[in-house]
Structure 1
Amino acid sequence: MKRVLIIEDDPYIAELQRDYFMLHDYEVELSHDGREGLAKALGGGHNLIILDLQLPGIDGFEICRQIREQLDVPILIVSAKKEEIDKIRGFGLGADDFVTKPFSPGELLARAKAHVARYERFTGDAAKVKEADNINIRELSINKSSHRVFVHDKEVMLTVKEFEVLVFMAANPNRVFNKEQLFERIWGLESNGEIATVTVHISRIREKIEADPSNPQFIETVWGAGYRFKI
């Protein structure tokens, strides 16, 4: 049974989320306080974390940052904040998705299932994953089966979504993909205005694999069209 941690200070919303996930055979743990929620999250054992931003104790942005520094687990922010800057900040701190309140429980569940499935595919038992060839392009080396990336033989650490974006683009070199195409391919959902996460993820990947992120040699911007992986 999949385990979900819901960190939400509004009891009504928390119980609505809990009941809906339990109805679909998820085991749910609730926390109404930021500090308590962070402690539970870092304790591990969850397949998904649903996180509010406006919390007592510690706000959701800081919780997201600390979780992502230690764990690779799907984080879905569910918040009344609607400004694009808040969404960009959340994605920049490592959130996988951002759902605004009021929300549809059915849509939230669909997004949750999609993220959990993708994380399982990339972090599951290696024996269940078909061994894949390395992708070697100049000083960059990607091993899909071990989920490891090296630049000049030095390992760089990518989140699951960063790794998915990099693998997809490196496996399809010299092709231009716009943000909507990348969002649909990597996140598996209609964008619903959340394509800002694509820009954030590309920027974070460049910071990790490019010698000069402002002058990228791997993932280049094709102005007005999207992004292309150069070989």
Structure 2
Amino acid sequence: MASILIVEDEEHLRTALGYSLRRAGYTVTNASSGAEALAIVQTAMPDLVLLDVMLPEIDGFEVLRRIRRFSPVPVLMLTARADEVDTVLGLELGADDYITKPFRVRELIARIGAALRRPMLGSSPGAIPAPTGALTVGDLWIDPVSHQATCGGRTLILKPRAFALLQFFMQHPGQVFSREQLLGQLWGEPFIGDPRTVDVHIRWIREQIEDDPSSPTRLRTIRNVGYQFVG
């Protein structure tokens, strides 16, 4: 049974969400502030965090930023603002999904289920020689077993989904994939969320493997088609 941490300062909404999620079969822990949420994530290690953006003292964006320093736990942002800038910021900081209030409980539960089904891959620091079985293209290697990767002898620090995306590209060199195909392969179908998350993850990868991320040569954009990994 998956555990969910609800981080919401409005008591009535926190109570209603908790009731609905328990009915859906989840165990629920509550936090009413960012500081309380950070303490719970570090000690209780929930399977998913529902994180409100508008929190007192420490807002949701800062809470997410701090969580990502030590945990790859899936985070679904909740907000009353539908501003595109806020959505992109949340994705860039490492949110797995973003939902605007008011929302339907069935949609929220569907998004939670989708986030929990996504692979939880990670990477570790410390540049080491490519182990047996690693995927290697030029000076770039990635090991699906140990979840380590290096480029030019430098250890890559990749968020979980970015690691999975790079692994997928290296398993299919030269092939062009549309955003929709990548969502289906790595985020699951049907995908519920903001499809621009693919673009954000592509940028994260380029920042790690490209000499000049603004003019990529390894992970290219094929205009009006998609993305292609050429090594």
Taking a change above 3 Å as real, the CA distance of residues 192 and 118 of structure 1, as seen in their structure-2 partners, is: closer
Tell me how far 1:189 sits from its aligned partner: 4.2
Q: Which amino acid aligns with 1:137?
A: V
1:49-64 matches, cutoff 5 A:
49-64=49-64
Q: Which amino acid aligns with 2:207?
A: E
Specify the SS of the correspondent of 2:69.
helix
> Would you say the 8 A contact 1:80–1:102 is kept in 2?
yes
For structure 2, the 5+ residue unaligned runs are: 123-131
Q: Using structure 2 for the length normalisation, give the TM-score.
A: 0.88
2:125 alignment counterpart? none
Q: Using structure 1 for the length normalisation, give the TM-score.
A: 0.88
Deviating more after overlay: 189-198 vs 164-173: 189-198
1:140-151 matches, cutoff 5 A:
140-151=140-151
Q: Which amino acid aligns with 2:226?
A: G
For structure 1, the 5+ residue unaligned runs are: 124-131
Q: Distance in 2 between matches of 1:29 and 1:151?
A: 40
Specify the SS of the correspondent of 1:199.
helix
1:10 and 2:15 aligned: no
Tell me how far 1:56 sits from its aligned partner: 0.7
Q: Distance in 2 between matches of 1:147 and 1:100?
A: 33
Deviating more after overlay: 78-87 vs 184-193: 184-193
2:136 alignment counterpart? 136
1:225 alignment counterpart? 225
1:203 alignment counterpart? 203
Q: Distance in 2 between matches of 1:196 and 1:183?
A: 10
1:127 alignment counterpart? none
CA deviations over 1:132-178 (Å, ceiling 9, x no partner): 93210111101112111111232212111111111112212212222
1:164 alignment counterpart? 164
RMSD: 1.9
CA deviations over 1:43-84 (Å, ceiling 9, x no partner): 342111110100111100000100011111111112122121
Q: Number of matched residues?
A: 222
> Would you say the 8 A contact 1:170–1:229 is kept in 2?
yes
